[in-house]
Structure 1
Amino acid sequence: MPEVPPPAPTGDALLRVLSALGNPHRMRIVAALLESRNYVSALAREIGMSRPLLHMHLQRLEAAGLVVGTLELAEDGKAMKYFDVTPFFYELTPDVVARAAATLTDAERAQPEKTEAEKEEAK
């Protein structure tokens, strides 16, 4: 039986994914998590990033559905949040973009584009 392609993403979902992956730190996080699941402190050391900044990037990736976090208890009773990459596949063609654009909500259409300075400040 032929494999059924995944449904085309909505405009809002596609924007979340592209926005999440449009940051070099988040791309490195996905690459590191592809190698193995990890918890925030160890991942922060591996990537060379502060835990608060890493946590912010992980939240963005999780909101886009690209990673998933699970809270687990260590042997010493300490709660640790582990993250894994969620399997995903997006085909990006002009037709997919046009169909996604037609489904954008008003909130996404009205959101102004950030300046380069605002983007840098957000990192």
Structure 2
Amino acid sequence: MTATGPSGDELLRLLGALANPHRLRIVAALRAERAYVSQLARELGISRALLQLHLRKLEAVGLVSATLELSEDGKAMKFYEVKPFLVELSPDTIAAAAPTLSTPTPGTPTPGDEGERP
């Protein structure tokens, strides 16, 4: 992100990452406290595999971060926490970001357009 806001491609990636109900719930849950994968999966009622898929997407755009820690019994636990962020979405933000969009090659998805379903 620049001082004036995200580039067009960054904005698409951020919006794409947040355009899923599971990922919105993950960010909301991590807002309260950091959590490890199994704990968060139980809390949200989704499988660990599905949770990890969504966490990777959120981590790729910088909305969450992860740290690997050892429990008292020596088990590796990956903790996730939400990183502070603020994205202002307004006509002015979009107008500033639009000129910086990459020109897609025909047939290539644009950032944030993976064609996924919730």
Q: C-alpha distance in 2, partners of 1:102/1:111? A: 18
Q: Summarize the alignment of residues 84-123 of structure 1 with structure 2, pairs less than 5 Å apart.
A: 84-107=81-104, 110-111=108-109, 118-120=115-117, 123=118
Partner residue in 2 for 1:37:
34
* Secondary structure in structure 1 of the residue aligned to 2:24: helix
2:109 partner amino acid = Q
Identity %: 56
Aligned pair partner of 2:25 in 8, 23, 28: 28
Q: CA deviation at 1:107?
A: 4.4
CA RMSD of aligned residues (A): 2.2
Stretches of structure 1 that go unaligned for 5 or more consecutive residues are: 1-5
Aligned pair count? 114
The one-letter amino acid paired with 1:76 is D
Three-state SS of the structure 2 residue aligned to 1:69 is strand
How far does residue 7 in structure 1 lie from its aligned partner after superposition? 3.1
Where structure 2 has 5 or more consecutive residues not aligned to the other structure, the ranges are: none
Distance between the aligned counterparts of 2:103 and 2:38, measured in 1? 38
Partner in structure 2 of residue 63 of structure 1 = 60
TM-score (norm 1): 0.83
Higher RCO (C-alpha under 8 Å, 6+ residues apart) = 2
Question: Hey, what does 2:14 align to over in structure 1?
Answer: 17
In the alignment, is residue 77 of structure 1 matched against residue 69 of structure 2? no
Tell me, in whole angstroms, the C-alpha distance in 2 between the residues paired with 1:90 and 1:11: 12
Equivalent position amino acid for 2:87 in 1: Y
> What residue in structure 2 maps to residue 3 of structure 1?
none
Q: Which has the higher helix share?
A: 1
